[in-house]
Amino acid sequence: MIVPSRHPQQKVRKCDKCDKGSVCLKSAYCVYPPPTPLRLLLNPSPAPSPAFTMYHSYEKVNRDEDSDQGLLSEDSERVAPQPRASRVPSWTTALLLLGLLFSLSLNVGWFVFQKGHNVPIQDLDPDAAMAKQRSPYTGLAWDTHMPYSHHSEYTSENKTHADEMWENLSMDPMVIAPTWEWAQSKGLSDSWAFPWDSNRRIYFIKVFHQLHCLKLMRHSYHELWSGQESSIPAGHIEHCLDSLRQDLMCKADDTPMPSLQLLNGGGEGQLMQCKDFDKLVAWSKAPERNACYKRLTDYKPIVHSIERYAYCPEDSEHYPTMSKYFEEHGHYADPFSE
Which tens digits make up the pLDDT trace of 143-164? 999 999 988 999 999 999 999 9
pLDDT band at 199 (very low <50, low <70, confident <90, very high): very high
Q: Of 168, 173, 163, which Cα lies nearest the Cα of 308?
A: 173
Mean pLDDT value of segment 167-171:
97
Q: Across-strand partners of 148?
A: none
Q: Is the pLDDT of residue 175 over 60?
A: yes
Helical (H) or strand (E) element with 251: helix 234-251
DSSP labels, 184-216: HHTTPPP-PEETTEEEEE-EE-HHHHHHHHHHH
What distances in angstroms separate CA 320 from CA 31, 304, 312, 313, 316, one per listed residue? 109, 21, 9, 10, 8
- Entry pTM: 0.64
Maximum distance among all Cα pairs of the chain, rounded to whole angstroms: 143
pLDDT at 104: 74
Summarised one tens digit per residue, pLDDT across range 11-64 is: 444 455 566 656 565 555 565 555 544 444 444 444 444 443 333 433 333 444
Chain centre distance of CA 44: 65
Mean pLDDT of 84-103: 68
Flag whether pLDDT at 89 surpasses 90.
no
The answer to whether 294 and 302 are in contact (CB under 8 A) is no
Length of the chain: 338
Which pLDDT score is estimated for 12?
45
Rounded to an integer, what distance in angstroms lies between the CA atom of residue 172 and that of residue 206?
A: 13
Range 179-195 average pLDDT: 98
For the chain, the C-alpha Rg in angstroms (whole number) is 47
> Taking 50 as the threshold, does the pLDDT of residue 168 lie above it?
yes
**What are 282-323's pLDDT values in tens digits?**
999 999 999 999 999 999 999 999 999 999 999 999 999 999
Amino acid at 259: S
